[in-house]
Structure formats: C-alpha cells, structure tokens
Amino acid sequence: HIIGRDRPFVKYPDKIHAYGAPDADSPSFPSGHTAAAFSLATSLSITYPKWYVIAPSAVWACGVGFARMNQGVHYPSDVVAGAAIGVGCAFVNVYVNRWLNKVLFGRQIK
C-alpha cells in the first residue's frame, strides 16, 4: 500500500463495525481489491469490446468498490485510486502484451 492511512473501521470504531475485516494495522490506501477488479474489467473490455462484456464488467468492478466502502474497510478516495490504478495497469498490460507479441513473434493481436 502506498499511504499508511488507517481504515475507516479503525478511525471510527463507534460508527463502523467491519465484520471479517483485514488487520487493523493494514493501511487502506489504495484499495487492492478495487484495483484488481478494475484491471480485470478493463482488460476484458479492451480485448472483447462488446457491450455485453463491457457493461457487466463495469458493473461488477463498481460493485467491488462499493462493497469495500460498505464494509467499512475503505474510504471513497481509496476506491477511486484503486480503480485508477487498475485501469492504468490494464491498459499498460494489454498494449505491452500486443507490442511484445508483434516484436517477438511477428504476429498482430487485436
């Protein structure tokens, strides 16, 4: 994690009761679950650019981010940063993979 910020359930124990939460010592920024969800959703959407792939992927990724906030383990800024990191990593991964396939194997991948 990049920034060692306390999780919401640690900072506001009288208001937020997080069940099955990670260790209180684990920092909250950014949301790794949200980053992974948005990375997968973006990779699928780039690889298969059809509405029936993009829409459910986006809804699922947003749901993961919302669930992390709803559980009291992340702030909205943690989720937004995680989503941005996930989308960025997906774009880099997809385009580097395409470039490497072209350079190393001489084949173009859509």
43-90 per-position pLDDT tens digit: 999 989 999 999 999 999 999 999 988 888 888 999 999 999 999 999
- What is the predicted pLDDT for the residue at 56? 97
Name which of 19-23, 26-30, 105-109 the model is least confident about: 19-23
Alpha-carbon gap, residue 102 to 75, rounded angstroms = 41
- What is the predicted pLDDT for the residue at 30? 87
Helix (H, G, I), strand (E, B) or coil at 27: coil
